[in-house]
Amino acid sequence: MRNIKTGLILNLSIVLSLSLSTLVFAHTFWLNATEYFPEIYSPEYGAKTNVYFGWGHGYPVDGFISADKLSEFNLITPNGESKSIKPGVGGFLATEVSFSEKGSYIVTAALKQGFYTMYMEDGRIHHKSAPKTGLSGVILSLHFEQYAKSLINVGGADSSFLKPVGHTLEIIPLTNPADLKVGDYLQVQVLFKGRPARFCPLYGTYAGFSTGDDFAYVTSADGEGKAKIRILHHGAWLLKAKKKNPAPDELKDKCNEMSYTATLTFEVK
């Protein structure tokens, strides 16, 4: 009986460790802004906002991320020009962004791509930010890409946000959140490698809904990659799309899956 109990406890410990390990890895990457609707009061000074990074499980802020993890941090102007932004220093990499003209701007960011592997060795679960090459007892092994966008409407709104920015996985709003109110639906399209991400899961939440991984709204894109998110509350919102594919033949010796995550943040007044 003692051996049975010991075995049950060991199995439960392994299951719990696997669950926690999955949660630890499943960090989400997003952008926040102190002002999603900055006004231009003077041509001389323009408008400003502070953009800072979200990383982890609790929206709008959770853990810290370092600047060396970023592969992209850009500002896209209403006319489509892309300008590189230098991230600020500090835990959330808070960065002042200035605007000289009215219109809808998009701040974009991406993490450096990489591998993550979880495996069993000597009766213990191990984690490695590397391919599975040479390892046995592999539980989970994937190549990941994470992308983030934030929509900033400066002194008004236009339709420039409709254009994709070129991320592998991307959420594009088909209506400007500036025109919405509580109870309305935000129409979006999810693209994967420039094509509709058919039936891709989509999650939405707003600041204050939860301090954990809970989302206020869950849906799925249709056959054209389109979906509707009902605006349940005013304030800052986060949308998240996630897609997984089997690893292609050229990467099967390094990982089992390809994992893609995209987020979009905005505000509804």
What are the tens digits of pLDDT across the range 207-255?
999 988 899 999 999 999 999 999 999 999 999 999 999 999 999 999 9
The per-residue b/e assignment along 12-30, b for 16 or more CB within 10 angstroms, e otherwise, is eeeeeeeeebeeeeebbbb
**Residue 211 pLDDT:** 85
In this structure, the strands spanning 257-268 and 138-154 are parallel
8 Å CB contact between 190 and 221 = yes
* Residue 138, beta-bridge partner list: 119
> What's the pLDDT tens digit per position in 188-209?
999 999 999 999 999 999 999 9
Report the share of the chain in percent with pLDDT over 90: 80
Q: Taking the model in full, what pTM does it have? A: 0.88
Q: Which two tokens stand for residue 206?
A: 């707003």
**Residue 160 pLDDT:** 84
The closest of 173, 183, 134 to 150, measured between CA atoms, is 173
Given pLDDT bands bounded at 50, 70 and 90, which one contains residue 13?
very low
Q: Average the pLDDT over 126-144 and give the result.
A: 94
Residue 263 has pLDDT above 50, yes or no: yes
Q: How would you class 190 by CB atoms within 10 Å of its CB: exposed for 0-12, middle for 13-18, buried for 19 or more?
A: buried
